[in-house]
Structure 1
């Protein structure tokens, strides 16, 4: 009896270790820890790992265009009812604007409460601000943003194609071909995702090696304020929205933990876009809603970015001891409601958006953006994670409002 019990315990241990070592989440965590250690103890080598993180994200980006196009086209064409497409699009955009405005307001409120700009600025030196000013005054425009944003172009092309396909005589045959091609694309993505630990390792090693932990001390209060604000936004605002539909935010976060870890390691929410679409469908959201809401949300529903932008503006105002009236604060919210929609798709575009906002205000020195360079990289993880969670919640809400949500399925997915 004792021997049998001992054998069972041994088999259980082997099973646990086998499950652990075959779990992608485990290896991503190990990779993140290894990246932090390498970047901290060997900064030069850590910086060299940038190529690994960038290469992984670049490979993932190859899948984003085809997946967005195929998902949206199949989603719209399978609906058959074009009125439903317009209804979902309108609901999504309305939801995006309301929630992102709440995010902007919370960011400003917390910044005023904690006053992260009231910090010791000794040792900080302004860099050449001309690139920010030039970017704001010469390069930033909605037309240029559209032509430089590949994701947005694919989104528009997919919507037009999906609508036109509904009028095509051989619609069924075309849908069948597209579905087969879609299966091939997702199969290829499945194998690429096995490289996720390498991407997380490279991204984290570069971040720590390049900027170091010690350089964050002067701006630590700002960084902590941003993280706290995003934490409150996720669990109070987004959690409250899900609670209305009798869904626990914790269960959702556990379900998408692999994607959250991937975003943490790569600092890019784009890296998780394909897999989050698959998971939301498996959770119970309809394919048509996922195909419309997620890609659109990556350009128009940037909750984390909205919080970061609003807090950064107030931070710079406090840094330069600039008093802002209530009307000017409302103006900041109004301007950021528009300019924040241009903060997606291009690395570093957040600085261009901030420069555009500050230029429009004509009160806060644009050169103050240089103060944010030291911690921007470390806040990018929080922005990307909050953006991902926000878009996931938006998809669930729109699916629920359309009564197009099957029974909630949060069981772990095993593809092996």
Structure 2
């Protein structure tokens, strides 16, 4: 798909009609309601759940149409393999950096030092469900879970890796059909346009979803709980900010753009993620914005969905930082070998996480259980259970930025992006509702 900057033709909107302002107001009202009337605020949870469910029901068909169109339209399976390999190499390098930064900051600041928690007095039942889920999710089980029970079961469950698998297989087969596959490509293009326009309608409800999710969070957990463990929360947010500005910022500069301009370019998506605590709610919008920057269908279709399972920078920072916090809180002295195990295990367990709230907590349980000698009992996770929701927003935000930067990097690596045009388009972002409505697949072929 080819895109041009459309900022000159975009009509000026009153401030109260701008989506990100509506979301900001909704978040503020949600916090206020949660503080003033906690019981009422908790009853607003269904608004956030409904919005997330509406978006999630469209993710599988959008990814399928985008990937199949991307693979079939270029007709070059070697490029698909090349893009996939480059993406996995990039994911592994940056994810490892995120894990190491979590360890380094945790050792320097030591947010759990002096906490003095007694492991024998911790309530293990509070985190028993997370521990069981982590224990059941072995490497083999995770690999087998990538294969859906049937072609359509992937759409029914909405598992991103399952959808990715059947999308790649379908795209490869249609490419092999040659001229006979053009009818299928056209049908998929039309379906993709329909799905994106449905999302354009759903996204108008983002302020309601953000209000409900934020009101529930404050009403359920309270601002007081955030204050009890403010050191860990502040350290995590600071570490994530440093990672975005320094690590991703350096990568961005090498690729010819400013990380701050990029953050401004995706501000609508960032605010929706902040309100809903789920990066999946903006997956379709991110795909469209990356295409507007000049990335091809094939790169966007492969990098963004794959990144949601393999490039979770925020989750990686969280796992190593939270592990060190809990070790310090219970007075455990970790050896060099145990540090190495934490990083290696986290590199594997993080690949099973997704953009859904709570997935990071499950992967943390799996990481703790795998440390030799069990110096940090899984029951210690009860110490941060009450504030995990406050950190899930930061995990989702960092994951989203990381996947956006990854898409641009791989596109530049493929020689698709012009740095001058990239900066020009990035400097004039299009409103999120217009982005979905105006952008549609370009039919393959002449």
TM range (shorter): over 0.9
Whether the 8 Å contact between 1:126 and 1:371 is mirrored in structure 2 is no
2:362 is equivalent to residue 367 of structure 1: no
Range with greater deviation from structure 2 (123-132 or 267-276): 123-132
Tell me by how many angstroms 1:23 deviates. Answer: 1.0
2:229 is equivalent to residue 219 of structure 1: yes
Superposed CA offset, 1:35-64 (max 9, x none): 111111111111111000000000000110
Distance 2:408 2:59 in 1: 21
Distance 2:49 2:136 in 1: 28
Whether the 8 Å contact between 2:59 and 2:158 is mirrored in structure 1 is no
2:101 is equivalent to residue 106 of structure 1: yes
2:230 is equivalent to residue 233 of structure 1: no
Whether the 8 Å contact between 2:57 and 2:158 is mirrored in structure 1 is no
Superposed CA offset, 1:168-191 (max 9, x none): 141222211211111111111111
Distance 2:305 2:87 in 1: 11
Tell me by how many angstroms 1:346 deviates. Answer: 5.5
For 1:310-329, what aligned pairs fall within 5 Å after superposition?
Answer: 310-329=320-339
User: Which residue in 1 is equivalent to 2:429?
Assistant: 412
User: Which residue in 2 is equivalent to 1:150?
Assistant: 159
SS at match of 2:14: helix
SS at match of 1:167: helix
Q: 1:43 to 1:144 in 2, by over 3 A?
A: farther
Q: 1:374 to 1:145 in 2, by over 3 A?
A: farther
Q: 1:345 to 1:25 in 2, by over 3 A?
A: closer
Q: 1:359 to 1:211 in 2, by over 3 A?
A: same
User: Which residue in 1 is equivalent to 2:66?
Assistant: 71
User: Which residue in 1 is equivalent to 2:285?
Assistant: 275
User: Which residue in 1 is equivalent to 2:3?
Assistant: none
User: Which residue in 2 is equivalent to 1:243?
Assistant: 253
Whether the 8 Å contact between 2:240 and 2:317 is mirrored in structure 1 is yes
2:144 is equivalent to residue 115 of structure 1: no
SS at match of 2:275: helix
SS at match of 2:257: coil
Which TM-score applies when normalising by structure 2? 0.86
For 1:1-400, what aligned pairs fall within 5 Å after superposition?
Answer: 18-120=13-115, 126-128=123-125, 129-140=127-138, 141-143=141-143, 145-146=145-146, 150-169=159-178, 170-344=180-354, 347-361=357-371, 362-400=374-412
Superposed CA offset, 1:351-389 (max 9, x none): 332222222112211110111111100000000000000
Distance 2:188 2:135 in 1: 43
Aligned length: 401
SS at match of 1:217: helix
Q: 1:97 to 1:122 in 2, by over 3 A?
A: closer
- The answer for unaligned runs of 5 or more in structure 1 is 1-14
Whether the 8 Å contact between 1:119 and 1:218 is mirrored in structure 2 is no
